[in-house]
Amino acid sequence: MTSTYLVGSGVTRYGSHPGRNTVDLMSEAAQLALDDARLQRGDIDGLVCGYSTTMPHLMLATVFAEHFGLAPRYAHAVQLGGATGYALVMLAHLLVAGGAAKRILVVGGENRMTGQSRDASIQVLAQVGHPEYEVPLGATIPAYYGLIASHCMAEHGHTEADFAELAVLMRRHAAKHEGAQFRTPITVEEVLGSRAIASPLKVLDCCPVSDGGCAVIVSATEEGPHPLRITGAAQHHNAQHLSAMPSLSDFGAGACTARALEQAGRRLADVEYAAIYDSFTVTLAILLEEIGLAPRGRSGRLAREGHFSADGAMPLNLHGGLLSYGHCGVAGAMAHLVEAHRQMTGRAGTRQARRAGVALLHGDGGVLSSHVSLVLEGAA
């Protein structure tokens, strides 16, 4: 396949942005990405974006193009839950490789924290459940993940403290990033003592709701001061609903990453930096273990031992992940991608990993139902 390059990235501070809407936040992130790539708006001929629950327009891509002053020859909006950001990058990669556009702006953003009430958020996200077999029973997304966490504890030997270690790790990483929503260090005891949400998950096992925006630029040309190659991309899709899942022990993350690595001509042992979706601590545990970045039941212990720290064997989500940097819908996991770009180009400051030459990124949408994996490498 023709090479494509990630040539620019930008991310806003995550948290509260009163008075700013979806396209405002997307615009800030898009301009940051253009500045990072040293490009102008007129250099962009393609646009892909996600969805917004606070601005649910049927044609969000063209709405944003109008707002930001773009006239793309290709524009497309995508919906794949939490996996949308990486799916957008995969789409841009395929479109650029196929010649549909030369430079595609990939952008997401939303004011979920200040632009939507708690009840509205719960109602929107509850629709992930099956309308006949799940939603009428009152289940919410945290409840589904609570069930999965209980299964993990029974089958693989995880403890609540193991899950808590992952929350502590993400907060430790976020403490070094001025854009993170939550930076105050926490302890395992504080996680375990925090308010119950969906047994065994506590509030500190769950990502926050945020305002924010994120953008990257995918180009046909190795250009700008900080290019990376996109060398692998793959997807895997299970049943949409938890009640229809054939297994709670294999959600497909391992198969998805294996295909992305194969496309890149790499093995898991070649990966030096990991950017893994972490909507809940149990999400992160499952994905790390299915992918093979941790043995079954051991992800929490490895976190405690420093394995996933900047100077550890597998640096992970060094910006703080969804759990502490924040989660604003489509842009949530895209912040993982921006951090990978910074790490791989030596621009992460005090967060800089010891090595980050090959990065593996993985996101999921729904309740572990849709998976997208990406492999990034240095352009030189």
The per-residue pLDDT for range 223-272, each reduced to its tens digit, is 999 999 999 999 999 999 999 999 999 999 999 999 999 999 999 999 99
Domain for residue 90, yes or no? yes
Domain for residue 153, yes or no? no
**Helices assigned H by DSSP within 71-140:** 84-97, 118-126
Distance CA 375, CA 253 (A): 14
Looking at the chain, which runs of residues are DSSP E strands? 4-11, 46-49, 74-77, 103-111, 196-198, 201-202, 211-219, 228-237, 273-276, 358-365, 370-378
The per-residue pLDDT for range 129-168, each reduced to its tens digit, is 999 999 999 888 999 999 999 999 999 999 999 999 999 9
Spell out the per-residue pLDDT of the chain, length 380, in tens: 788 999 999 999 999 999 999 999 999 999 999 999 999 999 999 999 999 999 999 999 999 999 999 999 999 999 999 999 999 999 999 999 999 999 999 999 999 999 998 888 877 777 889 999 999 998 889 999 999 999 999 999 999 999 999 999 999 999 999 999 999 999 999 999 999 999 999 999 999 999 999 999 999 999 999 999 999 999 999 999 999 999 999 999 999 999 999 999 999 999 999 999 999 999 999 999 999 999 999 999 999 999 999 999 999 999 999 999 999 999 999 999 999 999 999 999 999 999 999 999 999 999 999 999 999 999 86
Domain for residue 17, yes or no? yes
Distance CA 377, CA 305 (A): 27
Q: What percent of the chain has pLDDT over 70?
A: 99
Instruction: Return the closest-CA partner of residue 230 out of 217, 211, 248.
Output: 217
Tell me 368's DSSP state: T
Helix (H/G/I), strand (E/B), else coil: 218: strand
CB contact at 8 A, 344 and 378:
yes
Domain for residue 18, yes or no? yes
What is the number of domains present in the chain?
Answer: 1
H or E stretch covering 372: strand 370-378
Distance CA 56, CA 51 (A): 7
Helix (H/G/I), strand (E/B), else coil: 329: coil
Instruction: Return the closest-CA partner of residue 332 out of 86, 44, 19.
Output: 86
For residue 360, what are the domain limits?
4-115+209-378
Domain for residue 142, yes or no? no
Cα 104 → chain centroid: 19
What distances in angstroms separate CA 217 from CA 78, 89, 275, one per listed residue?
A: 16, 9, 18
Domain for residue 158, yes or no? no
Domain for residue 147, yes or no? no
Distance CA 198, CA 56 (A): 28
Task: Measure CA of the first residue to CA of the last residue in the chain; give whole Å.
Answer: 18
* Beta-strand pair 358-365/273-276: parallel
CB contact at 8 A, 107 and 76:
no
* Beta-strand pair 103-111/196-198: unpaired
Instruction: Return the closest-CA partner of residue 186 out of 165, 163, 159, 201.
Output: 165
Widest Cα–Cα separation across the chain:
55
The per-residue pLDDT for range 215-226, each reduced to its tens digit, is 999 999 999 999
* Beta-strand pair 74-77/46-49: parallel
- Single pTM value for the model: 0.97
CATH of the domain at 232: 3.40.47.10
Domain for residue 128, yes or no? no
Instruction: Return the closest-CA partner of residue 54 out of 10, 109, 105, 126.
Output: 109
Backbone dihedral angles phi then psi of residue 71, each to the nearest 5 degrees: -130, 70
Structure token digits, residue 124: 């929107």
